[in-house]
Each structure stands twice: as structure tokens, then as C-alpha cells.
Amino acid sequence: MQITPKDKVGYIRKYKDKDGKEQFRFIETKIKKIVVGKKKVSVYTEYFRALDADDLATNTEFLQDKDVMLVSEPFITTDEYSEHCRKTVDYWNEHGAKKVFD
């Protein structure tokens, strides 16, 4: 998978609110730059400092092959998949995600 500066990185964050209820937040951020080093390629975004390009590509390919969602792992996203993530996170926050993760 070729990652370009036009791509966006998506991330679903899991946390507990002030009442201790499990909540989720979908974060979408633009890629600021891609740095090719001697040992690895790093992707810098507005939200994340440095992400390994191989990890991003692996996570993205994993999502394309399966009907799953990644939580706490970054991935390259599209407009359609971002909308799907937003709807899923809204559903989880409203109805709970306990059954999903058990």
C-alpha cells in the first residue's frame, strides 16, 4: 500500500468518562509529512507525532480484508470508512459496546 500526503489517518480512542462509563472517540487527522529514513518510513500527522508507515499499511489492509474495526490502532481511512467509523462510535457510545468486546 502506498501512503501519500493526501491520505488521512483514522483512530478510534477508547476511554472512560468522568462517571466511569466506557466511551469511544473517532479521530481523523491529515498527514503533514512522510519521512523516509534508513530503517523505516515515518508518517507525521496533525494529531500523532510519528507513526510507522508499515504498521499503518498493515492495519489498513487488515480492515479491508475483514468486517472488523480497530480500536487503539491507527489506519489509513477514506471518506466512506470515516463515516462508517463515526456512526459505529456514535452507536457504541449510545448503546454500549460491552457485547462487542466480550
* Whole-number pLDDT of residue 6: 92
67-90 tens-digit pLDDT: 788 889 999 999 999 999 999 999
Query: Are the C-beta atoms of 76 and 64 separated by less than 8 Å?
Result: no
14-54 tens-digit pLDDT: 999 899 888 999 999 999 999 999 999 999 999 988 999 99
Q: How far is the C-alpha of 90 from the C-alpha of 33, rounded, in Å?
A: 30
53-72 tens-digit pLDDT: 999 999 998 888 667 888 89
Question: 21-60 b/e with 16+ CB inside 10 Å = b?
Answer: eeebebbbeebeeeeeeeeeeebbbeebeebebeebbebb
Q: How far is the C-alpha of 18 from the C-alpha of 9, rounded, in Å?
A: 27
* Whole-number pLDDT of residue 95: 85
* Whole-number pLDDT of residue 99: 62
